[in-house]
Amino acid sequence: MSGSRRLLIIGGIALAIWGMSYGLWYAVFAEHQALDNIGGSLATGFAAAAERNTAAMETSLDRYREAKYIYDRQVDAHGHWIGLAMLLIVLGMAFDRIHFPERFKLFLALGLFAGAVTFPLGVLLQTFSHAAFPRAVTIAGSAFVIAALAGILAGVGRRSTALE
């Protein structure tokens, strides 16, 4: 098995295990609390509005905003890690269809793997900080994935005889 193929398959399996473990931890210890917090703060905000208590209403809606922001990103990170892991494994199995020299294939595989790890990581980091850095990590990760996919597609379209 070539180095690029091994990187994609083993990296993909490792990423899938990481994504599933994260999802399991999240489902058991965090998700129900997060959903209760989202639903509860929204209902409380509207109830405060019914009592014409503007301060309590705003506090509850702020809590809703923050809880929803974090929940969306935690679920997205889990889903994207597993989805990208499956893509890595599938492409790893088909990497002999890419008509590029092995060095370049390894470069593409590295780019795809790096993007698959950092893109959801950047999404998750946004739950800790609203600064620019986590968003930059997310953008860089997704750019790696897109560039590597475009490269792989070009390698499939390239004539195999070009290497001979």
Partner 1 sequence: MSARRLLVLGGIALILTGMIFGDIFAIFTLHQNAARVGANLAAAAHAALAGKRGEVFANFQNVGSFLENRGTKVDTHVHMIDFGYLALLLAVLQPWVSFRESAKKKLAWVFLVGGWLLPVGVFLIHYVGLSYSPSKTIGLASMAADLGGLLVLVVTVACLFGLWRYGPQRGTTGVADSLLADRSASGQILFVGGLMLVLLGFLHGAYYAGADLYRQEARDCALLSEMSAGAAAGASTVVDQALGEYGELQGHKAVNIAAHAHAIEFGMLAVLLAFFQPYVRLREAWKKRWAAVLLLGSLSLPVCVFLEMRYGLVAGGIADFAGLLVVVALMAMWMGILRYAGALDAPSEPGVIAGAS
The CA distance from 89 to 75, in Å, is 22
Residues 1-40 that bind partner 1 (CB under 8 A): 13, 20, 39
CB 138 within 8 A of CB 123: yes
Token pair of 128, please?
Answer: 């800790």
Determine which residue in the list 25, 30, 33, 43 makes contact with partner 1, applying CB under 8 A: 43
Determine which residue in the list 3, 25, 30, 69 makes contact with partner 1, applying CB under 8 A: 69
Binding mask 85-124 for partner 1 (x = CB under 8 A): -xx-xxx-xx-xx---------------------------
The CA distance from 151 to 83, in Å, is 19
Task: Give yes or no for residue 46 binding partner 1 (CB under 8 A).
Answer: yes
Determine which residue in the list 30, 131, 136, 153 makes contact with partner 1, applying CB under 8 A: 153
- Residues that contact partner 1, how many (by CB under 8 A): 45
Determine which residue in the list 18, 22, 31, 49 makes contact with partner 1, applying CB under 8 A: 49
The whole-angstrom distance between residue 142's C-alpha and the CA centroid of its chain comes to 9
Report the helix count and the strand count for the chain, using DSSP H and E.
Answer: 5, 0
Torsion (CA) 49, 53, 59, 64 in degrees, nearest 10: -20
The CA distance from 83 to 45, in Å, is 36
Interacting residue ranges for partner 1, rule: CB under 8 A: 13, 20, 39, 42-43, 45-54, 57-58, 61, 64-65, 68-69, 72, 83, 86-87, 89-91, 93-94, 96-97, 138-139, 142-143, 145-146, 149-150, 152-153, 156-157
